Amino acid sequence: MAPFSIYSFLGLGVPIIAVIYYAFQSEQGKPTLSNIALVTHGSYLLGFENSIVLALITSIVPGILGLILAYAIATSRSATLKRLVATASGVLANFGGINLTFMFIATLGSTGILTAWLSAIHLNPWNFGFNLYSFYGVALVYLYFQVPLMVLVITPALGGLRPSWREAAENMGASSWGYWRYVGVPVLMPSVLGGMLLLFGSGFAAYATAETLTAGTVTLAPIQIGSLLAGNQLAGQENVGYAVGLGMFVVLAVTMILYGLVRRRASKWLR
Amino acid sequence: MTELVDATRTTGAAPAGARVSLEGLVRTYGTTRALDGFSLAIEPGEFVALLGPSGCGKTTALRVLAGFERLDSGRVTVDGRDVSKISAQHRDMGMVFQSYSLFPNMNALNNVAFGLRMRRQHATQRRQKAGELLELVGLSDQASKYPHQMSGGQQQRIALARALAIEPRVLLLDEPLSALDAKVRAELRDQIRQLQQRLAITTVFVTHDQEEALSMADRVCVMSAGRAEQTATPAALYSRPTTSFVAEFVGVSSRVPVEPVDGSVVLFGERCRIRASDTGLPNGPLDALLRPEDVAITLDETAKPFVTHKSFLGATTRVIAQVDGVAVRVDVRSDVAADIELGARVRVSVVSRDVLVAERSVTNPVSPQ
Ligand SMILES: Nc1ncnc2c1ncn2[C@@H]1O[C@H](COP(=O)(O)OP(=O)(O)O)[C@@H](O)[C@H]1O
Ligand SMILES: [Mg+2]
């Protein structure tokens, strides 16, 4: 336990303390609430809102898709398929950032390959309101690594569903629906929530992908921090950046507390 | 005891269980013939144990009966009706699995009530009935516990109550005690048997433990390689096995080479009738299969056989005598055995004058068993 505590303190505690320290400081090093007041209004508030919505979309949608995919794989008979998907998920879940963004631009950008093919059959998505360099474009790119991430985290939980539970249920007159309604879903719920929380965190904090794709035109909290700390808007705004960082910590903390409460309710049968 | 009777009445168990017939069941997995023409007829209310070594097809037979496995050929009837087309969901059979089959997200009461919920019984009604069943298995005080908070033995009793709650036509148990320690196993064995008799429910119990099978069942079906070797009462199975497989799998047998002499054999110098044999009378050399109590020994300094091992079993002591290089196990009253020392010369004789014979097998290790 001791090494983990030290690790947590150095990796999480110290940065939080530093962020808090600077967030409540003026440019001149005096204590102030003005940074906080600034970031809870206007474009900074919009940044938080957009980031939270993006994180929700990119946790719930890939969460469900990943769950379905993982279940299909878990129940398949092919060991090769299982191994293949496990390996692919491991690679794809970590394939984000600038490389991924350019891959999408080359594929689905206004002059991308797929776009060209689709427009050849008069189905160019850009003509139907699609825009890769927008909020939903970012969400789409996130799907690419969030789905495999969900597959990775949920597969062990699916393996924990014992065949004898299903058979016992069937034996006592349960339909497939009855089994899932009363056994399968409740048993999986804590793991699914846990997986989605992870996706929420990674969606909320992802920076490089969104920055490269939209060149900062979509207002997201991490992008704002980036530009504030880089000082490319106004000089001397670093402390405002720290205040936005503090806001992100708060959002994540609230999410985790909510998750804890839901999980406790969903799993009072767990140890 | 009166509580038990009341509980039985209020659960409204059918007065007699169903008649079950398994006819020529064949089930293959690739090249493995898990069931290879297995047949068994079970009387209403009867407790039948399927006994056999691991991999002989016991579980497959049970799962076919429950509706979890397809058949390649053969027929399953319950009360005369073919149930092949009926899914497990609608077969009304209560099954108890080897272990960990309770739903982890439900407490004991809700586990027991699950089948009633699936049958759309009213909440108060099913809670009452589940409560009665918990009482029946003696676990009323555990109603609100979750499976992980209970011992293995308690979990299996809950699983039993859960299977009984739906008033199944047949109760199926697949090695339900094998994951438990010896003491709990013995207790539960008695409890299952008592409940079964009280409810008069047709029961199929799978086990690889002969003691379990012999002590619990009305009849035992010994299985080997996907077929029924012999189905008989425990007493008949033990004293009159019809095949060498049964003789050696159930109880302890010694193999002693014998010479056939027109329809009988000579054993320890005495002429014995052939009681039964595997496939008529085999042509080649024969072995007699002898129970430890079929053989007697007396101290005799002039005899050639001598004692090689002794193990105390309580009232009796198992003595192994070496007769012409062959180990013969003999049960002797312990007070008598006290006077028999290792290496002592003994005269060996047969107690009963009819013996089971089988084709000669080359192995006959002189081992202490
Ligand atoms: N689902 C299955 N797939 C392939 N082989 C199986 C399957 N189920 C059982 N078998 C094989 O069928 C034989 C009988 O199995 P089983 O009925 O489980 O035996 P038992 O319960 O007597 O130990 C074994 O050889 C086993 O390996
Ligand atoms: Mg088995």
- At B16, the pLDDT band (50, 70, 90 cuts) reads low
Q: For residue A48, give both structure tokens.
A: 């938080």
CA atoms within 13 A on the CB side of B189: 23
Residue B224: both structure tokens together: 């080997």
Looking at per-residue pLDDT, the higher value among A2 and A199 belongs to A199
Tell me the per-residue pLDDT of B166-189, one tens digit each, with 9 for 90 and over. Answer: 999 999 999 999 888 888 888 899
Does the beta carbon of B64 lie inside 6 Å of ligand 1?
Answer: no
B104 to chain A, closest Cα gap in Å: 7
Per DSSP, the three-state class of B18 is: coil
Mean pLDDT value across chain A: 83
Using pLDDT thresholds of 50, 70 and 90, give the confidence band for residue B61. very high
> Which range scores top for mean pLDDT: A48-57, A140-149, B23-32?
B23-32
pLDDT tens readout for residues A204-260: 887 778 777 777 777 888 888 887 777 655 656 778 888 888 888 888 888 888 888
Q: Does the C-beta of B31 come closer than 6 Å to ligand 1?
A: no
Residue A11 pLDDT class (50, 70, 90 cuts): confident
The residues, ordered by sequence, that sit 6+ positions from A28 with a Cβ below 8 Å of its Cβ are none
Mean pLDDT of B140-163: 93
A171 and B107 in contact by Cβ < 8 A?
Answer: no
The pLDDT value given to residue B177? 92
Asked whether the predicted pLDDT for residue A65 surpasses 80, the reply is yes
Whether the predicted pLDDT of B364 surpasses 70: no
Residue-wise DSSP of A136-169: HHHHHHHHHHHHHHHHHHHHHHHHTS-HHHHHHH
- The residue-averaged pLDDT of B306-323 equals 92
Confidence of residue B163 (pLDDT cuts 50, 70, 90): very high
CATH of the domain at A152: 1.10.3720.10
Span B2-30, mean pLDDT?
68
CB of A143 within 8 A of CB of A58?
A: yes
Query: Residue B176's closest CA among B163, B71, A219?
Result: B163
**Residue predicted with more confidence, B317 or B367:** B317
Output the pLDDT for position B143: 92
B20-29 vs B73-78, strand pairing mode: antiparallel
Contact B88 A168 (CB under 8 A): no
Classify strands B227-232 and B254-261 as parallel, antiparallel or unpaired: unpaired
Residue B144, Cβ neighbours under 10 Å: how many?
10
Which of B97, B103, B148 is closest, CB to CB, to A271?
Answer: B148
Q: Averaged over A110-117, what is the pLDDT?
A: 83
Cα–Cα distances (Å) from B246 to B178, B191, B283, B355, in that order, read 21, 27, 21, 14
What does the pLDDT average to over B287-314?
Answer: 90
Count of other CB atoms within 10 angstroms of residue A167: 19
pLDDT at B104: 92
- pTM value? 0.80
Among A171, A182, A267, whose Cβ lies nearest the Cβ of B95?
A171
Q: What is the pLDDT of residue A177?
A: 93
Ligand 1 contacts CB of residue B195 (under 6 A)? no
Q: Which atom of ligand 1 is nearest to the CA of B56?
A: 22
Q: Do A172 and B114 touch (CB under 8 A)?
A: yes
Helix (H) or strand (E) holding B290: strand B286-290
Predicted confidence at residue B265, as pLDDT, reads: 86
Helix (H, G, I), strand (E, B) or coil at B133: helix
Mean pLDDT of chain B: 87
A 10 A CB-CB count for A253 gives 11
What distance in Å separates the CA atoms of residue B296 and residue B352, rounded to the nearest whole number? 10
Kindly provide the residue ranges of all beta strands, DSSP E only, lying in A101-239, ordered along the sequence.
Answer: none
Domains along the sequence of chain B with CATH: 8-239 (3.40.50.300), 255-359 (2.40.50.100)
Total count of residues recorded for chain B: 369
Residues of chain A contacting residue B66, judged by C-beta atoms under 8 Å apart: 167, 171
Contacts of B68 in chain A (CB under 8 A): 167, 170
Q: Which domain holds residue A229?
A: 2-267
Interface of A with B (CB under 8 A): 162, 164-165, 167-175, 178, 182-183, 186-187, 267, 269, 271
Question: Whole-angstrom Cα distance, residue A44 to residue A225?
Answer: 10
Question: DSSP class of residue B286?
Answer: E
Q: Which of B9-13, B37-41, B83-87 shows the lowest per-residue confidence on average (mean pLDDT)? A: B9-13
- When pLDDT is averaged across residues B220-230 and rounded to a whole number, the result is 94
Q: What is the pLDDT of residue B69?
A: 92
What is the domain count for chain A? 1
pLDDT at B91 over 50: yes
- Is the CB of B315 inside a 6 Å radius of any atom of ligand 1? no
Written as one letter, the residue type at B351 is: V
Q: What is the pLDDT of residue B179?
A: 86
Q: What are phi and psi of B266, to 5 degrees?
A: -105, 125
Q: Which residues contact B58 (CB under 8 A, 6 or more apart)?
A: B50, B51, B52, B174, B206, B207, B208, B223
Q: Do B97 and A168 make contact, defined as CB atoms within 8 angstroms?
A: yes
- Return the pLDDT at B12: 46
The confidence band for B13, taking pLDDT boundaries of 50, 70 and 90, is very low
Q: Mean per-residue pLDDT for B210-218?
A: 92
Looking at residue A266, what is its pLDDT? 64
Q: Is B26 exposed, middle or buried (0-12, 13-18, 19+ CB in 10 A)?
A: middle
pLDDT given at position A236: 65
| Residue B242 pLDDT level (bands cut at 50, 70, 90) | confident
Are B51 and B221 in contact, with CB atoms under 8 Å apart?
Answer: yes
| Set of chain B residues whose Cβ sits within 8 Å of the Cβ of A186 | 105
Q: How confident is the model at residue B7 (pLDDT cuts 50, 70, 90)?
A: very low
Query: What secondary structure, in 3-state letters, does B294-342 show?
Result: HEEEEECCCCCCEEEEEEECCCEEEEEEEECCEEEEEEEEHHHHCCCCC
- For position A129, what pLDDT does the model report? 79
| A84 confidence band (pLDDT: 50, 70, 90) | confident
User: Degrees (nearest 5) of the Cα angle B253, B232, B200?
Assistant: 135
B124-151 residue pLDDT tens: 999 999 999 999 899 999 999 999 999 9
Query: Given this model, what pLDDT does residue B280 score?
Result: 63
Which ligand has the nearest atom to the CA of B32?
A: 1
pLDDT at B8 over 50: no
pLDDT of amino acid A160: 86
Query: Burial level of B191, CB count in 10 A (0-12/13-18/19+)?
Result: middle
H/E stretch holding B259: strand B254-261
Asked whether B145 and B108 are in contact (CB, 8 A), the reply is: yes
Query: What is the ipTM score, two decimals?
Result: 0.80
Alpha helices in chain B (DSSP H): 2-11, 58-66, 108-118, 123-136, 152-165, 182-199, 210-216, 234-239, 244-249, 334-337
Chain B contact set for A178 (CB, 8 A): 118
pLDDT over 70 percentage in chain B: 91
Whether the pLDDT of residue B369 is over 50: the answer is no
Which band of pLDDT confidence, cut at 50, 70 and 90, is reported for residue B84? confident
* CA of B53, closest atom in ligand 1: 22
